[in-house]
């Protein structure tokens, strides 16, 4: 049994024994049946409102087992580093927040695999109301927006690299790559990991496509960034044309010409 599976089992045990918890769910790779030795363990914990104000979150986490460090990330979640660099995410919320689950873009796994504790049935109701897969851009306007966002980040990468802001260019390229992966997944029908398009990309996508997308990553080097921008546009241009044709849309011809010129320099 993987160490993560032991941790998940322990969290389940704690949740079932803690009456302060109205509900709890797990999500991510293990809920989806894809967990491995490099996967996180991830939970939402819904407390009674009064208990949410008084609970010692660190003490609750310490009950799971040995911990190397805990940090509250920029989204307010407690990130736990267990031995062997195993990472856990724990979202402490209140029972009043259960209703907000129904606003999520999709379930990350079947309801029964996500529920850890559901003392009122409200969590199941919220999860069952969600689609199994997130909404995909299907209409012409949504396709235009997806491809246009790719171009937005690519043009930004081009300009800041010309200015000499190489680290900023690398950051912009990473955003362009994410949108390119969405374009690729939409075109190829490989949408199982839509919300995190880089996840299992090397497994989900064809080898030629993976090589093309790999070429869009760059070190903070002027020549490398130039080559990565050119590679991103070569790949993105082809998928933009394909998606636009499927949606019955025209591509922005003048923008294409200017990007062609910029990436050939």
pLDDT digit string (tens) for 117-135? 999 999 999 999 999 999 9
Give the alpha-carbon dihedral of 8, 11, 12, 16, to 10 degrees: 180
Confidence label for 31 from pLDDT (cuts 50, 70 and 90): very high
What is the reported pLDDT for 227?
Answer: 97
Mean pLDDT of 183-190: 97
Quick: pLDDT tens for 214-249.
999 999 999 999 999 999 999 999 999 999 999 999
Structural domains of the chain sorted by starting position, each given as residue range(s) with its CATH number in brackets:
3-128 (3.30.460.10), 140-264 (1.20.120.330)
pLDDT band at 179 (very low <50, low <70, confident <90, very high): very high
Residue 173 near residue 216 (C-beta atoms within 8 A): yes
Q: How high is the pLDDT of residue 73?
A: 97
The structure tokens listed for 137 are 């851009």
| Predicted TM-score (pTM) above 0.85 | yes
Report pLDDT for 22: 98
Any idea which residue has 């195993």 for tokens?
86
pLDDT confidence of residue 29: 95
Q: What percent of the chain has pLDDT over 90?
A: 98
Tens digits of residue pLDDT in 138-150: 899 999 999 999 9
Q: Which of 125, 123, 138, 131 is nearest to 105 (CA)?
A: 131
Quote the mean pLDDT of the chain: 97
* Torsion from C-alpha of 175, 178, 182, 185, nearest 10 degrees: 160
Q: Which pLDDT does position 235 carry in this prediction?
A: 98
35-88 per-position pLDDT tens digit: 999 999 999 999 999 999 999 999 999 999 999 999 999 999 999 999 999 999
Distances (CA, A) of 81 to 25, 40, 75, 88, 89: 20, 10, 17, 6, 9
Would you place residue 265 in the very low, low, confident or very high pLDDT band (cuts 50, 70, 90)?
low
């Amino acid at each position: 049994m993987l160490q993560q599976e032991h941790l998940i089992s322990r969290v389940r045990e704690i949740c079932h024994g803690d009456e302060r918890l109205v509900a709890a769910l797990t999500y991510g790779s293990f809920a989806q049946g894809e967990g491995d030795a490099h996967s996180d363990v991830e939970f939402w914990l819904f407390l009674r409102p009064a208990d949410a104000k008084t609970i010692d979150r660190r003490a609750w986490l310490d009950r799971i087992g040995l911990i190397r460090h805990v940090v509250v990330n920029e989204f307010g979640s407690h990130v736990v580093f267990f031995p062997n660099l195993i990472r856990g995410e724990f979202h402490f919320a209140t029972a009043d927040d259960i209703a907000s689950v129904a606003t999520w873009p999709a379930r990350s796994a079947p309801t029964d695999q996500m529920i850890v504790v559901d003392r009122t049935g409200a969590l199941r109701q919220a999860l069952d109301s969600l689609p199994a897969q997130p909404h995909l851009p299907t209409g012409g306007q949504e396709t235009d927006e997806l491809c246009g966002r790719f171009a937005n980040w690519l043009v930004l990468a081009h300009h800041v690299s010309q200015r000499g802001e190489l680290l900023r260019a690398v950051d912009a390229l990473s955003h362009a790559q994410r949108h390119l992966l969405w374009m690729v997944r939409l075109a190829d029908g490989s949408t199982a990991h839509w919300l995190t398009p880089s996840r299992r990309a090397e497994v989900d996508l064809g080898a030629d496509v993976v090589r093309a997308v790999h070429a869009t990553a760059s070190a903070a080097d002027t020549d490398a960034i130039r080559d990565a921008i050119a590679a991103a546009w070569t790949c993105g241009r082809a998928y933009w044309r394909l998606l636009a044709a499927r949606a019955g849309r025209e591509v922005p011809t003048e923008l294409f010409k200017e990007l062609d010129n910029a990436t050939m320099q």
